[in-house]
Amino acid sequence: MAAFGSFALLIALALAAYNLLAGALALRLIATGQPSRVSPERLADTARRAGIAGFWAVSAAAFALVWAAFTNDFSLTYILEHSNRALPAPYKFSALWSGQEGSLLLWAWLLGTYGFVLRLLHKTDVKLYAYAGTILAAVQVFFLLVLNFAAPPFALFKGPVPADGNGLNPLLQYPEMVIHPPMLYLGYVGFSVPFAFALGALMMRYPGEKWIKITRSWTMVTWLFLTCGIFLGMHWAYAVLGWGGYWGWDPVENASFMPWLTGTAFLHSVMMQEKKGMMKSWNVWLIFSTFLLTLLGTTLTRGGLVSSVHAFAQSSIGNWFIAFMVIVLAVCIFTYILQRSHLKTENHLESLVSRESSFLFNNLVLLTACFVILWGTLFPIISEYVQGTKVTVGPPFYNRVAVPIGLFLVFLTGVGPLLPWRATSMRSIRRNFVLPVIALWAMMIVCLAVGVRPWKNGAFDAGAFYALVAFSVGVGVFTAILTEFLRGARVVAHQTGHNLIAATWQLIRRNGRRYGGYIVHIGVVIVVVGLAGSAFNRNVESEMGLHDKIHIGPYTLECVGFTQDSNLNYDSDYALLDVYKDGKKEFQMTPEKRVYLVSGQPQTMVTIHSTPAWDLYVVYEGVNPDSGQPIIKAFLNPLVGWIWAGLAIMVLGTFFALIPNLSLASVAVRMPAARAVPAEPALKGGD
């Protein structure tokens, strides 16, 4: 299997190289119109077919590595280090991305998959797709070079082959880790496609904005994958690491968040280019930056540049990635300088109080947040290079800067939909903003009344202050978006005679991109409210013997026993805790401590009881060696469930935004014959 996999990677490299060279030559011949013995169109078609064949070659290599894991082929160093005989089947499959070589193979396979789909759709716009396919081939050549020469996944173990492997990292033996890395990489790799289209469109001076419309669905789906990957990683950190939190501003967490920020900015600002012919250079550099940040994220995760609980495979391949990023940046700068006259803005900002300005401010704030996070992430590397001492930037730095920025972004998500294009009159401002402002102040008064106050024991409490702002602004934004839905639904109800619920559904179907985006904004608001709950987290830690009790919030936890269990993969110790509320037993919790047999590494298995108000989060931290008593730590974390609920709403909104709109003809068919569909400005276009 090692020979088969290695041969498949070599074939894939040869096919990708041919795709790149033949595709570039064909495009050059077509652009110059020079006579040639070979038909440029024929040459371009063979390049496209080579790209399709390359997908099957990389797929064969990925299959070979997974097959080696399932057949316990410990002659491969990679399988020896990341699997063992007793490892459950789902985790044998996830061994594909648990280490450096396998994760790079996953990157190459996903890129091949995206390229495969793109090349099948080439007849949509043959020349533009040829440019994009050639650029994707260049990216694929880099990853296949790394896989063949720097980090080969099919390297053989030197010496006698052990009877069993070293096993998978215990932190990865959790169900979400079968989903989280592929989801994250679908987002990382997926941004290669809009990057390829943007660079290709700039190279060929593609007329109009059609390239944006072609890549809109690609970008939204990629953004959705990255969003889900980030939140799955947050939930994994929350449920597995046992520290009571879900986001620690870890360098690898930051690496996934930065392209999300620039990708989100791109999704917003392309509306300006589509509708107003504005921000063309801005959009090109946003997608260039997003792609470069995905490469940086892969470098941080697998290149050994930073220390992180998420960076499971560290090595020296960072130099390869740095060199490739320099090449990509140089190509982007050269192409932009050469073709910048093609990106002249057709219109200009007419008013600071308009939807255009809200998009501009939104972009500036997102990029400011990205720069701050990038600076904090790379500061240890920069400080070590300049001073010889590595200085780490911790969560307090990020929280001081990122939290106010995040709250301002939430504010903008409510302001933007209420502003018309071009300019806003004072009358329009009064009409659109009265209800949201009333809701904001009413929520602030309610919060102050129930005890959410920005001071504690006479001192200013920054966490409580930000929570107060988040709750108040969140309600104001929700009200603003709700009024937009109601305004549009009333128009549809008047046209069709349907009730408001049916009219709201038809409103979404008529303009899914606009109203799906509003639903995504609602999800973001709910996530921010959930994050704000962390200002009121509580925890208690204690040794617990039989029938000992600890109290936290409204709960009393009583230890009623301890038990042990074992299987072929690990031994485990459980604490049995009865949980009482108001003197009545509500449920039982069983936090667990595992020790994996092959590696001897311990692993904490948290137990969580979730309600809409809070999570009761209990950790079995181990046994005190002096007293022999187990140590239990309990957290009461308010509103954590709102974070995961917000993600679900964001997914739903993106789904609606991706669905093709109902045409007016379709709407007319569904309406009573006596009614017509007037041209209603409130329902036309407006993203």
pLDDT tens across 226-251, in order?
A: 999 999 999 999 998 889 999 989 88
Q: What is the model's pLDDT at position 567? A: 86
* 669: pLDDT strictly greater than 50: no
Rounded mean pLDDT of 343-366? 76
Whether 244 contacts 552, CB under 8 Å: no
Q: What is the model's pLDDT at position 312? A: 46
- Strand partners for 616: 609, 636
* 309: pLDDT strictly greater than 60: no
- Alpha-helix residue ranges (DSSP H) falling in 277-394: 280-302, 318-339, 355-387
SS3 category, 439: helix
- Residue 336: HSE in the Cβ half-sphere, 13 Å Cα cutoff: 16
Region of 444 on the Ramachandran plot (φ > 0 left; ψ -120 to 50 alpha; else beta):
alpha
For the stretch 385-398, pLDDT in tens is 788 777 788 888 89
Q: What is the model's pLDDT at position 650? A: 96
Best CA proximity match to 223, nearest among 279, 267, 283, 284: 267
Select the more confidently predicted residue: 525 or 598: 525
Q: Please state, rounded to an integer, the average pLDDT across all residues of the chain.
A: 87
DSSP string, 236-264: HHHHHS-SS-S----HHHHHHHHHHHHHH
Question: CA-to-CA distance for 142 and 137, rounded, in angstroms?
Answer: 9
| Location of structure tokens 């001076």 | 205
Rounded mean pLDDT of 292-299? 88
* 345: pLDDT strictly greater than 80: no
Rounded mean pLDDT of 180-205? 93
Alpha carbon 363 to its chain centroid, in Å, reads: 18
* 422: pLDDT strictly greater than 80: no
Question: CA-to-CA distance for 101 and 152, rounded, in angstroms?
Answer: 6
**How buried is residue 226: exposed, middle or buried, by Cβ count under 10 Å (0-12/13-18/19+)?**
buried
Region of 605 on the Ramachandran plot (φ > 0 left; ψ -120 to 50 alpha; else beta):
beta
Percent of the chain with pLDDT over 70: 91
For the stretch 46-105, pLDDT in tens is 999 999 999 999 999 999 999 999 999 999 999 999 999 989 988 998 888 888 899 999
Rounded mean pLDDT of 1-5? 90
Q: How far is CA 542 from CA 345, 548, 633, 638, in A?
A: 64, 9, 6, 21
Show the 3-state SS of 501-564: HHHHHHHHHHCHHHHHHHHHHHHHHHHHHHHHHHHHCEEEEEECCCCCEEEECCEEEEEEEEEE
For the stretch 10-34, pLDDT in tens is 999 999 999 999 999 999 888 887 7
Q: How far is CA 224 from CA 230, 238, 585, in A?
A: 10, 21, 41
Q: What is the band of 680 on the pLDDT scale with cuts at 50, 70, 90?
A: very low
Q: What is the band of 118 on the pLDDT scale with cuts at 50, 70, 90?
A: very high
Q: Which of the 8 DSSP states describes residue 151?
A: S
Select the more confidently predicted residue: 367 or 498: 367
Domain residue extents for the chain: 1-167, 537-641
Q: What is the band of 683 on the pLDDT scale with cuts at 50, 70, 90?
A: very low
Q: What is the model's pLDDT at position 664? A: 53
Q: What is the band of 350 on the pLDDT scale with cuts at 50, 70, 90?
A: low
Q: What is the model's pLDDT at position 274? A: 78
**How buried is residue 49: exposed, middle or buried, by Cβ count under 10 Å (0-12/13-18/19+)?**
middle
Q: What is the model's pLDDT at position 675? A: 46
* 426: pLDDT strictly greater than 70: no
